[in-house]
Chain A
């Protein structure tokens, strides 16, 4: 009994004579706890629910008002990821060596469309542990058979030998047997694709 009494007296001494601030976890959530908001006087028993003070409307620590479409929003938008891959801004030269497609290529009876990243869709397929090399031309529109003939003719001229190709009409791609990716890319850039 004596120990209980002593502890109560210690508690009373801690809050002696004046209103003090009660620390709690909400103190750092943008709201300042003033002595007026939550306060106890030492005369009251704080652990008593019925006698504890009402929580009043707290004062905001920072003054703010909500604005729709503020001018600063442009800076936030600048940080957001792109919704879609942006179009290329036309320039004189491109330091990366990227070659832009030419407008006149659209008048040809065949067409190789760029990928979504504005790259030329000509790839090398390696299989059989790298011994089987297939050059793949994808995204062909228009007359795929005419394009196939021209590719064969061009490779015959540059490689000085017959080069086998395979046309997939439904999948709109041409496979060329052998690694001719650089040759084919240069040819496609020269055509303006």
Chain B
């Protein structure tokens, strides 16, 4: 068991120059005492230099954490250098594209009254005025004020969105906030069970669970229904804002693979269509 742990630490040590590339020795970790197996991946785009990261596959059917196996993650997706500037651009984009500002002011034409010249142009010794709703007047119209229904929609360039996702996933993984579970089957539909589980495993106050299907199992949907800090999301809904909003990101085994596959494909294909100028009728 000790030698296993040493092996694991050796593999996790990425800074040591001699240990950087160790793609081939993944099977060393298999222990005789437990039936743990490393799932070796055969990627379409294998990692060039940085070795794949390994992550435990955990279970959800007991409160106590039970490690079911080891799983390799592609370093291009889960172990890049996190570009915090791109994470920030993504968060700003997600806040802005749905923001419609309803602030509104009236111009001098829209404020009621003011059609009559308040006093004659000459002869009174007073300033020249043509309307009591002029912007110079108290209660007059507003010049260049906010006009309602202003959208702040824009599209972030495609590769900024892609690298925002990889950066956030890598940051979560580096901070030990990314966990992979086998599936989402719970033994009960009690919320207490999930609360205990989250407390036992130190999964931060808020948890985002990502599955590769739209339909989560019944037990977990009922259990999370009145827990506002535990949310379930399909893979296609994964985004930077939600990942940052929740402390812990829980991916199912299938979801982790699907995210990896999709992002890797975008990183290794001609993305001229996705990079083209955004048009409203393209969806």
Contacts and interface: CB of A to CB of B under 8 A. Distances in A.
Nearest to A113: B48
B265 A106 contact: no
Interface stretch (A26-34, A82-90, A124-132, A147-155): A82-90
Interface in B7-21: 17, 20-21
B50 interface: yes
A116 B267 CA distance: 7
A171 interface: yes
A85 B270 contact: yes
B49 A172 contact: no
A111 B81 CA distance: 15
A51 to B, nearest CB: 47
B146 to A, nearest CB: 37
B277 interface: no
B83 interface: yes
Given A84-B268, A84-B269, A106 B83 contact: no
Given A111-B48, A111-B49, A141-B49, A116 B268 contact: yes
A44 to B, nearest CB: 49
Nearest to B84: A170
Contacts of B84: 170
A84 B265 contact: yes
Interface in B55-94: 81, 83-84
Contact of A106 (B44, B48, B81): B48
A85 B268 contact: yes
A170 B81 contact: yes
B20 A116 contact: no
B83 A82 contact: no
B42 to A, nearest CB: 14
Chain A interface, DSSP helix/strand/loop, else mixed? loop
Nearest to B75: A141
Interface string A2-37: 000000000000000000000000000000000000
A81 B268 CA distance: 14
B269 A82 contact: yes
Contacts of A111: 48-49
A158 interface: no
A143 interface: yes
A141 B269 contact: no
Given A107-B21, A172-B81, A85 B48 contact: no
Interface in B229-283: 265, 267-270
Contacts of A107: 21
A83 B270 CA distance: 8
A109 interface: yes
A60 to B, nearest CB: 36
A109 B270 contact: no
A142 interface: yes
B98 to A, nearest CB: 29
B64 to A, nearest CB: 39
A188 to B, nearest CB: 14
Contacts of B48: 106, 111, 113-114, 141
A116 B269 contact: yes
Contacts of A85: 268-270
Contacts of B83: 170-171
Nearest to A101: B48
Nearest to B76: A113
Contacts of A106: 21, 48-49
Contact of B265 (A81, A83, A114, A141): A83
Nearest to B48: A113
A85 B49 CA distance: 19
Contacts of B50: 141
B81 to A, nearest CB: 6
A69 to B, nearest CB: 22
Given A82-B269, A113-B49, 4 more contacts: A84-B268, A85-B269, A109-B17, A170-B81
Nearest 10 CB-CB pairings of A with B: A84-B269, A111-B49, A109-B17, A141-B49, A84-B268, A116-B268, A113-B48, A84-B265, A106-B49, A141-B50
9 contacts: A81-B270, A82-B269, A83-B265, A85-B268, A106-B21, A111-B49, A142-B17, A142-B20, A171-B81
